[in-house]
Structure 1
Amino acid sequence: MNQLLKDALQHIEEADAVVIGASNGLSIAAGIHLFADDNAFSDNFGDLALQQGFRCIIHGCFHAFPAEAEKWAFYSRMFAYFLHDRMPDPVMADLLTLVKNKHHFVVTSNIDAHFAAAGFDPERVFEIEGNCRNLQCANACHDQLYPGDELLATMAREQANGKVPAALIPVCPACGGKMQVHIETGPRFLKGAQWQARQTAYRDFVTQAQDGKILFMELGVGARNQLIKAPFMQQVYQQANARYITFNRGRELFIPDAIAHKSLGIEGDIGHNLKQLVSLM
């Protein structure tokens, strides 16, 4: 393993550009497991789960809450759990240490907003499925995202009996309708100007870097997450100077034969392995 990590660090240091792809496995390394009915879920969401009948954070995100007061109790508590209880994130800090002096870009399906919170340039982060801290009109009646940090923090602090006070429930400033957190849980997820701009920036970054030594570094991306994994593997296959490093666990650590000669697979706890890489710098 130590030699694998040394090889990985060499790839990072030699790269002209680094593209980071991150999904649920990276969140798990930071202690956030969206799909687990574990002690952390019980401690932070147990009362809401009993009231509403969902059994993990991701189920809560897709749950049909009976009223806005209950919906915002969950989403504000999720915001606080992700960004107040879990920051600073040492896993993300180590990742930033590895790439902060490199030309880099992040594409992620994580909704925890940890990249920007940890110091990554928001202009270099494309959050495909949104994040927990921005709000949008639930009907997507207009193309505008609203920062929700202050309101969500207040909701999390002042909620009681699984509900937030009615005075805190947001309404759309344009149509007067409901608001929602800007995460992709349905067809009205807003892929407006800001989302489109980040997607374009990501594509432009890869295009502009493809003639140099470009490293695709994938962290905790499962086999079913083809939004990130498939384009990474395709780019590595097509570009002569591209390299690929994937960090994952068990059977999720997969490298196709076609790109095996230019790839590294690092199995195990992502946080531990990133820390080891930093110690080798």
Structure 2
Amino acid sequence: MEEKFNKILTKIEEADGIVIGASNGLSISEGIHLFADNAAFQENFGDFRVKYGFRSIIQGCFYPFPYEEEKWAFFSRMYDYFLYKGEASSVMKNLYELVKDKNYFVVTSNIDDHFRQAGFPNDRLFEIEGSCRNLQCVNGCHNHIYPGDEILSKMAKHQENGKVPLDLFPSCPECGGPMQVHIEVDRNFLRGESWEASYQAYRDFIEKAHGKKIVLLELGVGARNQLIKAPFMNLANHEEHAAYITFNKGPELFIPDAIAEKSIGIDGNIAEVLQQLVQMK
């Protein structure tokens, strides 16, 4: 394993550009599992579990709440659960430490905003499915996406019987209509100005890396993922000087034969792997 770690560190050091791709497995390594009916879910969302029967955060995100008071109670509580500590986890700190001096870009389907919390700058980050801390107009009457920290934090703190008071509901500054958290849970998801700018920055980074030594560093992305893994594998296959490095567990650690010679796979706990790499750096 040490030989693999040294090879990874060499690839990162020699890279002209690093593209970090992250999904649910990275969040799990931090102790947040969107798909689990675990003790943390029951402690933080148990009342919703009892009342509506959904058994994970992700099911709650897609649940058709009958009342806005309960919808905002869930999403503001989710925001608080993801970000209440106010500082990055050791996992995210180690990831930042590993690449902070390099030319990098992050693409992630995680909605917890932990990359930005760890110090990754906004202009190097593309959150494909949005962020739990931003708001948008439900009707999409205009393209602006709004920071929702103050509103969501206040709603998280002022709940009674799983409901948020009506006077705390946000309304669209343009049309006066309802708002929602900017995460992709329905067809209303707004690919607004900031989303489009981040997507273009990601594409520009890939284009500028063409023909150079590029490292595709994949963290906790499922074997069948089409948003991140499929494009990463395709890029590794077509870029002569690419290196594909993936961290995951068991069957989710998938490397196709076509790029096997360019790839390094680490089967294990992502938190422990990142800690080891930073110690060896």
What is the TM-score of this pair, normalised by structure 1? 0.98
Q: Could you tell me which residue of structure 1 aligns to residue 238 of structure 2?
A: 238
CA contact (8 A) 1:47 1:162 kept: yes
- The aligned amino acid for 2:149 is D
Gap runs ≥5 in structure 2: none
Q: Could you tell me which residue of structure 1 aligns to residue 262 of structure 2?
A: 262
Distance 2:85 2:34 in 1: 15
Distance 1:189 1:63 in 2: 15
What secondary structure sits across from 1:144 in the alignment?
Answer: coil
Pairing of 1:86-235 with structure 2 (within 5 A): 87-235=87-235
Distance 1:94 1:109 in 2: 20
CA contact (8 A) 2:223 2:251 kept: no
What secondary structure sits across from 1:79 in the alignment?
Answer: helix
CA contact (8 A) 1:210 1:242 kept: no
Distance 2:218 2:111 in 1: 17
**1:174 Cα deviation after fit:** 1.8
Q: Could you tell me which residue of structure 2 aligns to residue 78 of structure 1?
A: 78
- The aligned amino acid for 1:159 is Q
Q: Could you tell me which residue of structure 2 aligns to residue 7 of structure 1?
A: 7
CA-to-aligned-CA distance 1:77-128 (integer Å, 9 cap, x gap):
0000001147321101000000000000000000000001110011110000
What secondary structure sits across from 1:77 in the alignment?
Answer: helix
Per mean C-alpha deviation after superposition, the further-off stretch among 236-245 and 1-10 is 1-10
- The aligned amino acid for 1:204 is D
- The aligned amino acid for 1:127 is E
Q: Could you tell me which residue of structure 1 aligns to residue 37 of structure 2?
A: 37
- The aligned amino acid for 1:88 is A
Change in Cα spacing, 1:86 to 1:275, as seen in structure 2 (3 Å) is farther
Gap runs ≥5 in structure 1: none
What secondary structure sits across from 1:132 in the alignment?
Answer: strand
CA-to-aligned-CA distance 1:121-141 (integer Å, 9 cap, x gap):
111100000010000011111
CA contact (8 A) 1:247 1:266 kept: yes
CA contact (8 A) 2:145 2:193 kept: no
Change in Cα spacing, 1:217 to 1:57, as seen in structure 2 (3 Å) is same
Question: What is the CA RMSD across the aligned residues, in angstroms?
Answer: 1.0
Distance 2:143 2:253 in 1: 38
What secondary structure sits across from 1:66 in the alignment?
Answer: coil
- The aligned amino acid for 1:274 is L
CA contact (8 A) 1:4 1:264 kept: yes
Q: Could you tell me which residue of structure 2 aligns to residue 62 of structure 1?
A: 62
Pairing of 1:13-52 with structure 2 (within 5 A): 13-52=13-52
What secondary structure sits across from 2:36 in the alignment?
Answer: coil
- The aligned amino acid for 2:102 is K
**1:159 Cα deviation after fit:** 0.8
> Size of the alignment, in residue pairs?
281
CA-to-aligned-CA distance 1:224-276 (integer Å, 9 cap, x gap):
32111111111111111110100000000011111100100001110110000
Distance 1:254 1:139 in 2: 40
**1:5 Cα deviation after fit:** 1.3
% same residue: 60
What is the TM-score of this pair, normalised by structure 2? 0.98
